[in-house]
Amino acid sequence: MISDRFRLAVAQLNPTVGDVTGNLSLVRAAREEAARKGADLLLTSELVLAGYLPEDLVLKPAFVRKCMEAAEQLALETADGGPGVIIGTPYKGDDGRVYNAALLLDQGKIQSVRYKYDLPNYSVFDEKRVFAAGPLPGPVDFRGVRIGIPICEDIWNDEVCECLEETGAELLLVPNGSPYWENRAEERLQVVVARVVQTNLPLVYCNQVGGQDELVFDGGSFALQADRSLALQMPQFATSLAVSDWKRDGETWVCENGPMDKLPDLDEANWRACVMGLGDYVNKNGFPGVVLGLSGGIDSAICAAMAVDALGADQVHAIMLPYRYTSEESIQDAADCAKALGIRYDTVPVAEPVEGFLSALSGMFKGTNEDTTEENLQSRTRGVILMAVSNKFGKMVMTTGNKSEMSVGYATLYGDMNGGYNPIKDLYKTQVYHLADWRNRNQPEGLLGPKGEVIPSNIITKVPTAELRENQTDQDSLPPYDVLDDILECLVEEEMSVGEIEKRGHSRDLIHRIEHLLYIAEYKRRQAPPGVKITERNFGKDRRYPITNRFRDRS
């Protein structure tokens, strides 16, 4: 029995959704490490046996059964006298309903089960679809310590923690599956401070790490003392196990020696999120690497750099696909970028297949003027070639369009939108430029790319162009990107009215035009590959607008 001291291990792991056996192995390895370090209890993240978010897998009885069997197996292993474990799993209750549960495993059995009370149903979360809500929980007893186990969303409102404090909890240990977006770490800290102030109890926040489709979980697990001071801080974007000693000081548990990792600034956090999301998508889905069209433009260059940071140069294959409008400057810039990154670089001219398509269509197109149809044929030909290379050698085609272009439909279906995953899908063009410059000046620790200028400076400074016709620039079709991005952030992230946006100095006609382009491009975005969520409202899980939509704000 613990009297006045115990040692806690916090494991922020990178589970894979659906890989119950593999996820159990991760927890088992963490428990072994915790045992070597003398821990009494191991805290893991929300639904770690299933992987988070499991979505409709939870509706499959065989999946829930396998998760519960894994939990029971691990419970038996705790008969060895080593650390107890708080583990998250889908759990079928005696009432036949499935819950998002946290289990306390110790002394060879499941000692206690607690269900998530507050199921989130906003933004990327849809838990009410698959889980039943549990009752307000009381604390569990672990070797003489009364522990409250609110699960993730349970601490974002005051009901659960208030109930735990009133029913005798001495310490709050919180399993979380909290995905990354900009400034998310500060938001979590504010929530935890509020719960500590409310309960006067210390709180340990354990978060998942890793990419899962569009979401990236950044870890950053931490703890606050009852006086709201930081007790421990774990790293972001890295698996980690932290051990800390806790002692009873009167009526309060105090952390004596929590590790203190430094969190990255916003630029590094955004870069790491893009890299981790891409790397985990490729690796967890079993691709041997990525292939991309390297055009000499900023978007494909930054994606290539992210891919090398995520996967290593040997897993990245770049192809230049020039046509008559491709400038010598672009050809040189692409070659310089590939050389700086150390990646394989091939050139496949597309003139012959493009002219072949145009010849095949010449009879049907006779008497018409050239327009975007002929421009898009170039992009679609490139897409076909990249997909052929992918089919032949197995590497995934990486898509390279930014959020600004995806917002207004400045992208070609079945052309540059081809591919399996897009690391910059949720970065506006101005953010792309900013991060490219940042990466040239920084090499984040632990990533696989080289130091120094990995994106040639000429790519960053030159006027952006799709090079689908003579002397084309992006600004032929779009306003300057700083103007476009400000309007888009107002429309997408803030849901501001046209009148409110106009007060920021933009013309009403331009706002109407951008809003119209935003709405009519919805059908394209529905067919786009997934990509890393960086902003508070990404295209996908966050923003669900109808494709058929005649609403326009003319107020």
Q: Is 299 annotated as belonging to a binding site?
A: yes
Q: How confident is the model at residue 2 (pLDDT cuts 50, 70, 90)?
A: low
* 250 vs 555, residue with greater confidence: 250
Q: Tell me, yes or no, if 152 is annotated catalytic.
A: yes
* Rounded-to-integer distance, Cα 287 and Cα 306, Å: 16
Tokens standing for 535? Answer: 């902003």
Q: Is 376 annotated as belonging to a binding site?
A: yes
> Catalytic: which of 152, 274, 337, 490?
152
Q: Is 415 annotated as belonging to a binding site?
A: no
Weakest-pLDDT range from 6-20, 25-39, 479-493, 537-551: 537-551
Predicted pLDDT of residue 477: 72
Q: How confident is the model at residue 282 (pLDDT cuts 50, 70, 90)?
A: very high
Mean local confidence (pLDDT), 235-252 = 95
Q: Tell me, yes or no, if 116 is annotated catalytic.
A: yes
Q: How confident is the model at residue 344 (pLDDT cuts 50, 70, 90)?
A: very high
Q: What are phi and psi of 346, to 5 degrees?
A: -125, 155
Q: What stretch(es) of the chain map to CATH 3.60.110.10? A: 7-263
Predicted pLDDT of residue 486: 95
C-alpha 137: how far from its chain's center? 30
Tokens standing for 227? Answer: 């006086």
Q: What stretch(es) of the chain map to CATH 3.40.50.620? A: 284-470
Check whether 86 has a pLDDT greater than 90.
yes
Q: Is 391 annotated as belonging to a binding site?
A: no
Tokens standing for 552? Answer: 């326009």
Q: Tell me, yes or no, if 46 is annotated catalytic.
A: yes
| Matching residue, tokens 């849901």 | 495
Q: How confident is the model at residue 106 (pLDDT cuts 50, 70, 90)?
A: very high
Predicted pLDDT of residue 544: 83
Tokens standing for 137? Answer: 């929980």
In 3D space, the residue among 43, 40, 35, 24 whose CA is nearest the CA of residue 86 turns out to be 43
Check whether 229 has a pLDDT greater than 70.
yes
> What CATH number is given for 284-470 in this structure?
3.40.50.620
Portion of the chain with pLDDT greater than 70, in percent: 97
Q: How confident is the model at residue 541 (pLDDT cuts 50, 70, 90)?
A: confident
Q: How confident is the model at residue 232 (pLDDT cuts 50, 70, 90)?
A: very high
Predicted pLDDT of residue 40: 97
Check whether 1 has a pLDDT greater than 60.
no
- Write down the H helix ranges in 449-544: 457-461, 481-488, 498-502, 508-520, 522-526
Q: How confident is the model at residue 554 (pLDDT cuts 50, 70, 90)?
A: confident
Q: How confident is the model at residue 492 (pLDDT cuts 50, 70, 90)?
A: very high
Mean local confidence (pLDDT), 35-56 = 96
Check whether 418 has a pLDDT greater than 80.
yes
In 3D space, the residue among 63, 141, 423 whose CA is nearest the CA of residue 271 turns out to be 423
pLDDT digits (tens, 9 = 90+) for 452-485: 999 999 999 988 776 566 766 666 678 899 999 9
Check whether 405 has a pLDDT greater than 70.
yes
Q: How confident is the model at residue 519 (pLDDT cuts 50, 70, 90)?
A: very high
Predicted pLDDT of residue 468: 65
Q: Is 24 annotated as belonging to a binding site?
A: no
* Rounded-to-integer distance, Cα 116 and Cα 187, Å: 21
Q: Are 130 and 52 in contact (CB under 8 A)?
A: no
Q: Is 379 annotated as belonging to a binding site?
A: no
SS3 241: strand
* Mean of the per-residue pLDDT values of the chain: 94
> Catalytic: which of 46, 153, 165, 214?
46
| Single-letter amino acid, residue 486 | D
Mean local confidence (pLDDT), 198-221 = 97
> Catalytic: which of 66, 67, 116, 163?
116
> 63's torsion region: left (phi>0), alpha (psi -120 to 50) or beta?
alpha
Q: Is 295 annotated as belonging to a binding site?
A: yes
Strand pairing class (290-293; 396-397): parallel
Mean local confidence (pLDDT), 439-458 = 94
Weakest-pLDDT range from 19-33, 270-284, 349-363: 349-363
Predicted pLDDT of residue 53: 92
* 468 vs 436, residue with greater confidence: 436
DSSP conformation letters of 361-428: HHHHHTT----HHHHHHHHHHHHHHHHHHHHHH-PEEBP---HHHHHHT-S-TTTTT-SSBBTTTT--
Q: Is 514 annotated as belonging to a binding site?
A: no
Q: What is the pTM for the complete model shown?
A: 0.94
Q: Is 361 annotated as belonging to a binding site?
A: no
Check whether 374 has a pLDDT greater than 80.
yes
pLDDT digits (tens, 9 = 90+) for 123-170: 888 899 999 999 999 999 999 999 999 999 999 999 999 999 999 999
Check whether 550 has a pLDDT greater than 90.
no
Predicted pLDDT of residue 466: 66
Predicted pLDDT of residue 547: 87
Predicted pLDDT of residue 326: 85
Domain 7-263 has CATH 3.60.110.10: yes
